[in-house]
Structure 1
Amino acid sequence: MIGKKRKLGRKIQALKVGDTFTTTSRVEDRDLLIYLGLTDDANPLYIQHDYASQTPFKQPIVPSVMLCGMASSIVSMHLPGPGSHIIHQQLSYPHPLYHYAEVRFHAEITDINHEEHHVVVDMHGYDEEGKEVIQGQLTVIPPYEPASMNAVSLENFY
């Protein structure tokens, strides 16, 4: 790994209030089964059609934590991007998201704190009908500028 360039997200100096990222994702059976297997979550509301049909939801729903994971992935991979770390989140899930649904996420930087090296990202997600399925804020530490490998490797020659 030494010498290999690793792509980092945008550093705090390159970010500005109003920066956005929007993406769409479809929740498939494979995604649900991987989540349920990794977490050992056997909630019948997530996987059993016969049970879910007897609830106000009428059909199985996507676990809220999966939506949180999708939001986290947007921060990790896009805004600010690789090297970022979420230090606080305040999320709510006003409407359920159902299996096979498409969800459109919109992330926007609403505050930048240079002194504490963090940004606030507003996160919203909507299903195909326009119902909000996730909303809230994430406080994120953007990637730090790595030290130069040349300066460290040559320090014995000064």
Structure 2
Amino acid sequence: MYDELQKRYVKEIKTNHEQSEAIKSLTIKINELEHHLGEQRQRIEQLECKKVSWKTSAVSGKRSGSLEREVTSHRELSKKEDSCCSQYLELLLKEIKKLKKENKKLSTERRALKNELAGLDKEFFEEVEDLKRAVQKSMELNNQYEKCFKQISVMYGLPFTAHL
């Protein structure tokens, strides 16, 4: 029973530690993704500003056929960039939502484990330590008894079987 309790305790501590690490890594990943999302939004704004300034400079300049072609090709490129950026942002947002959901789930589970461990007070752990010491002493005593039995069996010429 003591071994079962000890195994369960160690398992709970290990699980709690793993979940804490997972929560940390997910939080870091969420922060990185949010930062990256902000950078991409700034980049989109810069590209839109360049697009607007480029359009106004093209309109105010001379209207030649090559200039109009450049404006048209620039518009096509900016549309492609906008669609790529928006798709990328959507993927980032989905990933952030998924990570936040997982983070929330792990946080809930971690709180539940903390509450379960809170039920085990200091006296419980002291009792576990006392049981550890008692088991260790009894093992030492058993080893001493086994040595004595071996000596007695040799002394009287009886076969000694360790499994007894």
TM-score (normalizing by structure 2):
0.23
- Higher strand fraction: Structure 1 or Structure 2? 1
- Higher helix fraction: Structure 1 or Structure 2? 2
